[in-house]
Amino acid sequence: MYIELLTTKREAEYTEFLQDKDEALFNSSLMFRDLLIKTTGAEPCYFLAINCGKIVGVLPVFIKHGKYGAVLNSMPWYGSNPGIIVKYTYISPIQEIETFLLNAFHQFAKDQKVISSTIISRPFENVGVYLDGFCYDTIDSRIGMVTDISSGDIINSFHPKTRNLIRKAQKEKVKVYESLSLDDLLFVADLHKLNMEKIGGIPKPQKLFLDLNSVARIGKDFKVWIAEEHGQKIAGLVLKYFNKTVDYMTPAINVEFRSFQPLNLLIFEAMQDAAMLGYKSWNWGGTTLPEQQGVFHYKERFGAKKCNYFYLTKVYDDSIYQLDKKTILSEYPYFYVCPFNNLKEE
């Protein structure tokens, strides 16, 4: 067994490998790689474990070169977490392949003289392999949430309050539909921006949505869902689709119509559509507690189950602790460098 970095000659094999693994998420895909190249300007370094000439394991990684040195993430962009994906072979057991990839990651970090490296585990992934024989400076636990949509009766997995809110939207004659329009994609982006600015959050830039549209197929790899009331668009939703999982990417709502409950109906209809197409899981992404307690309960009422995932960070140059939060965010946007509470200024 040996390690290769992904090149064009193995891209088709890489995609085929992922499609055979239900646990592979959109953020493992080459579409997401191309999206990150556009949005972060960083360099992809996808590790492949090769045995008998075939891919048996993968670990997607990006490296960002900056003023204070390089930073290695698997992966950047708001905690994207493809994790390690492996295929059992009678020659190489799963744990052996995982350890081989992790050794390659840590050796690459040393060879590149990075100032820090971070691996983010996948929800429901066994984190033990990351810890066995490897030392990290910080291990930060986060909460992921996933709804099983594989059953034939999704709505009965919801909390009664959520079911009632969906019925309220239906009684209000809220119209929900999937759109293939770029204008509707930008409608969601603009409305999302207004929502985030209202609560003092950082919105996803419009360029992200345009870049997504350039690397992935609308209506196939990602979908735009729109809610209308009497012909007026009042809410929208952008979702990403890969293998057996739907990723909840961006919701947006006109707050003047919140009482009509359009997002609840949008999510329900999109879940039903995904289930009919054979998708099994609805990935809500990360939720921070206690800061996002309300968001946590909202997702939980859609039948979401809590699962932990982990940021595992190794710092190779302690001088980064002398930097302030603003400098790190400016120099390494979308990358995880180190916990901000470890910085000297904090």
Phi and psi at 91, nearest 5°, equal: -85, -40
- Beta 222-229 vs 175-179: how paired, if at all? antiparallel
pTM for the whole thing?
Answer: 0.93
Mean pLDDT, the chain, rounded, equals: 95
What would the mean pLDDT of 286-299 be, rounded to a whole number? 88
Question: In which element (H, E) is residue 176 found?
Answer: strand 175-179
Pick the range with the lowest mean pLDDT from 26-35, 62-71, 103-112, 290-299.
290-299
pLDDT value at position 23?
Answer: 92
| Residue with more model confidence, 31 or 125 | 31
- What residue type is 4 in one-letter code? E
What pLDDT band is residue 154 in, cutting at 50, 70 and 90? very high
What would the mean pLDDT of 231-257 be, rounded to a whole number? 97
What would the mean pLDDT of 115-124 be, rounded to a whole number? 94
What pLDDT band is residue 346 in, cutting at 50, 70 and 90? low
Task: Note the pLDDT tens digit of each residue in 45-66.
Answer: 999 999 999 999 999 999 999 9
Q: Provide CB contacts within 8 A for 60, sequence distance 6+.
A: 27, 28, 33, 44, 46, 47, 74, 75, 82
What would the mean pLDDT of 253-268 be, rounded to a whole number? 97
Phi and psi at 65, nearest 5°, equal: -90, 130
Instruction: List, in order of start, the domains of the chain with CATH numbers.
Output: 2-142+310-342 (3.40.630.30), 150-279 (3.40.630.30)
Are residues 299 and 145 in contact, defined by beta-carbon separation less than 8 angstroms? yes
**What whole-number distance in Å separates Cα of residue 248 and Cα of residue 229?**
23
pLDDT value at position 13?
Answer: 98
Give percent of the chain with pLDDT exceeding 90.
88
Give percent of the chain with pLDDT exceeding 70.
99
Res. 7: pLDDT tops 90:
yes
Question: In which element (H, E) is residue 122 found?
Answer: none
pLDDT value at position 290?
Answer: 79
pLDDT value at position 292?
Answer: 85
pLDDT value at position 287?
Answer: 85
Q: How many residues does the chain have?
A: 346
pLDDT value at position 9?
Answer: 97
Question: In which element (H, E) is residue 15 found?
Answer: helix 11-19
Are residues 284 and 245 in contact, defined by beta-carbon separation less than 8 angstroms? no
Res. 152: pLDDT tops 90:
no
